[in-house]
Amino acid sequence: MKKIAFSLVSLLSMMAFSSLAVAGDPAAGQQLVAVCAACHGDDGNSADPMNPKLAGQNAKYTFKQLMDIRDGQREVPLMSGMLDNMDDQDLLDIAAFYAEQDTTLEGADPEQVALGRQLYFDGLPDLEIAACAACHSPTGQGNAQAGWPALGGQHAQYTADQLRAFRSGERDNDGQEAMMRIITERLTDTEIEALASYISGLH
């Protein structure tokens, strides 16, 4: 049976990634994000709930996602080719710019708060589904040193779409241990919607 607990391999992998120097120049990044604003907003707070908010996201996570998209490890059709001419420093600078921006908050659906809170803080022990707070922090701010993403304030639709993408295997850039794919394969649509809604108002 698959286990949710980290294996030695996943720990070593995360430690290696967390040791990478993520040093970007926010001012340089601001000069590079004009084309990003159409989907993600001038300050990284997208207006369209299908597009992720990048504002306030830790630089290490954003940098990894940008690299994965550029290098074909994560498929995002709307971004096809947009990063092809950017080197690693460009991506570091973009990530640093967004990390300095303030995230706007959404509001959770009151009818989904109870289930969403339970999943976020307790998981589902009977199904070996770990609590989201373990990696993403009780306030949804993530773990910048480890490169685990901040979730609080993210559009509920975007979060739900990504959880479903992990569940189906359409998105698979969660590392060799497939932590997100293992967790989400056991979540129902109702649970995903409640969790995404709760996260949207978390801070």
pLDDT tens across 182-202, in order?
999 999 999 999 999 999 999
Whether 110-200 and 20-99 are alike in CATH topology: the answer is yes
Q: What is the pTM of this model?
A: 0.88
pLDDT given for residue 22 in this prediction? 56
pLDDT given for residue 135 in this prediction? 96
Quick one: what percent of the chain has pLDDT higher than 90? 85
CATH of domain 110-200: 1.10.760.10
Contact indicator for 108, 116 with CB cutoff of 8 Å:
yes
- Residues 122-178 have pLDDT tens digits of 999 999 899 999 999 999 999 999 999 999 999 999 999 999 999 999 999 999 999
Query: Which residues pair with residue 143 across a beta bridge?
Result: 148
Q: Domains of the chain: which residue ranges? A: 20-99, 110-200
Average pLDDT of every residue of the chain? 90
Q: Is the per-residue pLDDT at 19 higher than 70?
A: no
Matching CATH number, 20-99, of 3.20.20.140, 1.10.1060.10, 1.10.760.10, 1.10.10.10: 1.10.760.10
Query: Using 50, 70 and 90 to split pLDDT, how confident is the model at 106?
Result: confident
Query: Using 50, 70 and 90 to split pLDDT, how confident is the model at 4?
Result: very low
Region 15-23: mean pLDDT is 50
pLDDT given for residue 23 in this prediction? 87
Contact indicator for 113, 156 with CB cutoff of 8 Å:
no
At position 188, the amino acid (one-letter code) is T
Q: Is the per-residue pLDDT at 11 higher than 50?
A: no
